[in-house]
Amino acid sequence: MATKNLSEYDIEKVPSARGMKFGIVVAEWNYEITGALAEGAFETLKKHGADEKNIIVKHVPGSFELILGAQYMAEYTDVDAVIVLGCVIQGETPHFDYICAGVTQGITDLNIKYNKPFIFGVLTTNNQQQALDRAGGRLGNKGDEAAVTAIKMVALRNDIN
């Protein structure tokens, strides 16, 4: 099965992000990748109507710190959704597995704890090329996908609430 292009989506199905507030937490580890994810997310939010002043971008050292960074964002700001962006590349030790498991569970827990969308924009790849392909390369940008997901989840909350 061909891998989906992460930047291709049905634009008609994306609600307006006007008036919505977003936090973006970006891991500095593998910044060549995560910086591109952040740029993609930021531009996609703006493209759909979010105001720049309603997008807070903060950095944390590595993907493991994304969880607490995202929690700070929820505790100390009034954002409607938090997008977490990181890139964990398989190395020679099991470190990869521990970080991926920790971040995945941590972000899952935050969704429930805060009753707010925390969007998982963490690339977990076998090598650098796979990450580049998904950070604005031939398979699009995971940051774009994360931004669209965040908008849709905030719109869902607004619709139901």
Known active-site residue 59: no
Interface with ligand DLZ by CB under 6 A: which range of 6-14, 72-80, 82-90, 136-144? 82-90
Among 123, 124, 127, CA closest to 135: 123
Q: Measured from the CB of residue 53, what is the shortest distance to ligand DLZ in angstroms?
A: 28
- Calculate the CA 20 to chain-centre distance: 16
Interface with ligand DLZ by CB under 6 A: which range of 25-33, 42-50, 75-83, 138-146? 25-33
Phi and psi at residue 144, to the nearest 5°: -60, -50
Which of 62, 100, 104, 111 forms a contact with ligand DLZ (CB under 6 A)? 62
Report the alpha-carbon distance of residue 80 to residue 154 in Å, rounded. 6
Q: Assess contact for 66 and 103: CB atoms under 8 A.
A: yes
Q: Annotated catalytic sites, by residue?
A: 95
Contact set with ligand DLZ (CB under 6 A): 27, 29-30, 61-65, 86-89, 91, 95, 99
